[in-house]
Amino acid sequence: MKKEDKCCGECCWMYAEDIYGFGACPFLFGEVVQCNRSCKSEENFVSKKEMRHHMAVLLLYKRWIYDRRLHRPLVHRKPEYNEIERAVKFSYRYMKVFSNL
């Protein structure tokens, strides 16, 4: 992803946005940012598309486990181990960041 594509509104950490695009970032304490401005904390930037991918991997794994427990035919593929690991690490980080607000 290019540097100019990293805007606050495209990041999954942006929350409490109003209709004008102003919101808050948990990494910029006490600062209100507008969603079309470039991200000041680029090392923490995670796109919403990447977040949805992690959520899909966890959901796919949950469905795979559920089908396996009920002895149903496994329709869903099991995600790769490194995909599951990255998704779990991201979800832990997401919960940790938003539980401290």
**pLDDT tens, position by position, 6-23:** 777 788 888 888 888 888
pLDDT value at residue 42: 74
**Residues sharing a CB contact under 8 Å with residue 58, sequence separation 6 or more, in sequence order:** 84, 87, 88, 91
Mean pLDDT of all residues belonging to the chain:
82
Q: How many residues does the chain have?
A: 101
Domain annotation for the chain: domains and CATH numbers? 1-45 (2.20.70), 46-101 (no CATH)
Q: What would you measure as the largest C-alpha separation in the chain, in angstroms?
A: 52
Q: Taking residues 72-84, what's their average pLDDT?
A: 82
Question: What pTM was computed for the model?
Answer: 0.73
Write out pLDDT tens, residues 33-51. 887 777 777 778 888 889 9
